[in-house]
């Protein structure tokens, strides 16, 4: 298991340009305890990357398409991101799956494209409430992971970041208990080490996402198989996000 926690701010479709720059400027002179990534709206990425002066902060796109170029109006390609020195991208977020109907097959193509171009996907997965209530959450999540990695062969766990986000806890104020989250993370960890026995398990990074905030982050991050958080609403206020970084 990765020894250093990671926090990722997912701003989703929030912040004006002025608000985004104010947020990044807040961290100009701040010393951060954890590696920190900001998944900002795509049209801000170049400006924020150039404006940022804190070497502990990197940026991620919130989405991309797996083709390198072509007639795909409104989409973003990996070469476009790499030309801006953007090294991370969120893939498989529940909002992309649910609202925009992204399939497991499309997500697998996106992950394979990222890995073939040396950009790190933050691979998101998680169960809806009805699956959790049936007690099928572990099988459901492990099947999502298997589908997402179906088109690629990992050479190192450093190639991607895993993010477990129970759908029933995203933006609802509900959070998986530390025991529920740890159980899932342990099952993910065990499945990955069984599937890829030749790779270094200490490189595995599994984040928790799902209404993670200042009230519950310390409890969640203290669990042995939770390596940090994919933070939504609590990442929109700079002071709160700094507090999460310092837990």
- Annotation marks residue 185 as catalytic: no
pTM of the predicted structure, to 2 decimals: 0.96
Say which of 93, 95, 102, 127 is annotated catalytic. Answer: 93
Instruction: Quote the CA–CA distance of 163 and 9 in Å, as a whole number.
Output: 12
Domains (range + CATH), the chain: 6-25+33-245 (3.20.20.70)
Q: Taking the CA atoms of 44, 32, 164 and 195 in sequence, report the sign of the dihedral they define.
A: positive
Average pLDDT on 175-196 reads: 96
Q: What does the pLDDT look like over 38-95, one tens digit per residue?
A: 999 999 999 999 999 999 999 999 999 999 999 999 999 999 999 999 999 999 999 9
- Annotation marks residue 93 as catalytic: yes
SS3 231: strand
With tokens 């990074």, the residue in question is 205
Say which of 95, 127, 137, 165 is annotated catalytic. Answer: 165
Token pair of 19, please?
Answer: 């608000």
Q: What does the pLDDT look like over 141-174, one tens digit per residue?
A: 999 999 999 999 899 999 999 999 999 888 787 8
């Amino acid at each position: 298991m990765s020894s250093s926690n990671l926090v990722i701010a997912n701003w989703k479709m929030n912040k004006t340009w002025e608000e985004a720059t104010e947020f990044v400027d807040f961290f100009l002179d701040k010393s951060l305890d954890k590696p920190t990534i900001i998944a900002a709206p795509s049209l801000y990425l170049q400006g924020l990357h150039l404006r940022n002066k804190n070497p502990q902060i990197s940026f991620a796109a919130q989405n991309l398409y797996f083709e390198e170029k072509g007639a795909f109006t409104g989409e973003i390609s990996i070469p476009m991101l790499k030309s801006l020195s953007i090294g991370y991208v969120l893939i498989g977020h529940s909002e992309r799956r649910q609202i925009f109907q992204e399939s497991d097959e499309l997500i697998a193509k996106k992950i394979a494209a990222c890995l073939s171009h040396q950009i790190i996907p933050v691979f998101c997965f998680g169960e809806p409430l009805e699956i959790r209530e049936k007690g099928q959450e572990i099988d459901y999540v492990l099947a999502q992971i298997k589908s997402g990695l179906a088109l690629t062969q990992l050479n190192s766990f450093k190639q991607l970041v895993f993010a477990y986000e129970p759908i029933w806890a995203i933006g609802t104020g509900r959070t998986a208990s530390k025991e529920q989250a740890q159980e899932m993370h342990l099952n993910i960890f065990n499945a990955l080490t069984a599937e890829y026995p030749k790779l270094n398990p200490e490189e595995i990074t599994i984040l928790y996402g799902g209404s993670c905030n200042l009230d519950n982050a310390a409890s969640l991050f203290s669990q042995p198989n939770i390596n940090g958080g994919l933070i939504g609403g609590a990442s929109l206020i700079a002071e709160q996000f700094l507090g999460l970084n310092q837990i």
